[in-house]
Amino acid sequence: MRKLTLYARVILASAEMSVRETMTDGFVVFGIFVQPLIIALLGLWMLRDRGGDYGIFVVVGSGLTGLWSSLLFISGNSITHERWTGTLETLVGVPTPMGVIVLGKNLANVLQSIGSMAVSYLLASLLFGYPLTVAQPIQFVISLFLTVVAFVTFGLVIAPIFVMNPDVQRWQNGLEFPIYILAGFLFPIALLPGWTTPISYLLAPYWAAQALHLTSSGGGTSGEISIAWGMMLLFSLVYVLLSRTLFRVMLRKARSEATLGLE
């Protein structure tokens, strides 16, 4: 119990630290707030003659792009940044497990992105006059909560790779758009070739997009929504277990190959 209290304090402190740091970084502010707005604006403009249902689809989808970008770039870059500033060694040398520190950072990034989704919602409503009503509000809130859990835990799998390998940053750009597409953030995966579908099913962001789109636009059966929730929970659990092993292996490798610092 005492350990849980200590870890909860670290998660909150790391989240607070992350918010304070990111809010002074223009690149991060752009990624969280401006980029999703641009995507939402373009999507709404293209679909302005299609009617109200598309409005909420685009708002939720653009919010999800912000979530993924912030997780990929901010969480990943924060480890690269820690390495450059020399704080990564200090963080590894403290008694708190690295995964707990990263969890707090990811939580802050994901919650900030949820904020950007709300801004997109307001923009669509004010500028384009879409009736942005959420079809199943309670289910939507539950979906949003599970989305936060799924993305935060997905970030835990990504982080150890950044801890071990300073060169992994060059792969970041290449990972951004495939997830937008494969997870069906902005259009249904039914439009993609059939062979990509199994890949989508293995991604928690796909099930998050599915749950949020179904509950916001309506039209989903309770069975479909439950499957999406269950898959998010399952994948979150898998990611947590996987990240524990990854952190242990990658930190050992980083200590062995001297990649925690820049010397």
Partner 1 sequence: MAPLNAIEVRNLRRIYRTTIGVIRRRVKEVVAVDDISFDVAPGELFGLLGPNGAGKTTMVKMLTTLLIPSAGTARVLGFDVVDQADPIRPRIGFIFGGERGLYWRLSAIDNLRYFASLYHVEPEIARKRIPYLLELVRLDGRGQEKVEGYSRGMKQRLHVARTLLHDPELLFLDEPTIGLDPIGARELRQVIRNLQSEKKTILLTTHYMFEADALCERIAVIDHGRIVALDTPEGLKRHVRDLSVIELEVYGIPPELLDVLRALEVVEAVTVENRDQKQAVLVQSPGGSEAVPEILAALSGLRVGKVIVREPTLEDAYVRLVGGEVEP
Under the rule (CB under 8 A), what is the footprint of partner 1?
6, 9-10, 13-14, 17, 20-21, 24, 85-87, 89-96, 101, 252, 255-256, 258, 260-261, 263
Minimal distance in Å, beta carbon 79 to partner 1?
14
Residue 159 Cβ vs partner 1, minimum distance, rounded to whole Å: 16
Cβ proximity to partner 1, 85 vs 133, nearer residue: 85
Give the shortest CB-13-to-partner 1 separation in angstroms. Answer: 4
Is the Cβ of residue 94 or residue 126 nearer to partner 1 in the bound state? 94
Least distance (Å) from partner 1 to the CB of residue 23?
9
Dihedral sign from CA coordinates of 173, 174, 178, 183: negative
Q: Helices 98-128 & 52-69, crossing angle to 10 degrees?
A: 150
16 vs 131 by CB, closer to partner 1: 16
d(CA 154, CA 61): 18
Q: Closest separation between CB of residue 21 and partner 1, Å? A: 6
Rank residues 48 and 255 by Cβ distance to partner 1 and give the closer one. 255
Q: In terms of CB distance, is 100 or 232 closer to partner 1? A: 100
Complex with partner 1: residue 4 or 190, whichever CB lies closer: 4
Q: Are 232 and 149 in contact (CB under 8 A)?
A: yes
Query: Which DSSP string do the residues of 68-104 spell out, in sequence order?
Result: HHIIIIIIHHHHHHHHHHTHHHHHHTSSS-HHHHHHH
List b or e across 77-90, with b for residues whose CB sees 16 or more CB atoms inside 10 angstroms: bbbbebbeeeebee
CA distance 235 to 3: 25
Q: Name the residue nearer to partner 1 (CB basis): 49 or 263.
A: 263
* Distances from the Cα of 189 to the Cα of 148, 179, 256, angstroms: 22, 11, 42
In whole angstroms, the minimum distance from the beta carbon of 248 to partner 1 comes to 11
- Map residue 226 onto helix, strand or coil: helix
7, 99 in Cβ contact below 8 A?
no
In this structure, the number of other CB atoms found within 10 A of the CB of residue 247 comes to 21
Q: Shortest gap between Cβ of 73 and partner 1 (angstroms)?
A: 18
- 3-state helix, strand, coil split of the chain in percent (to 5) is 85, 0, 15
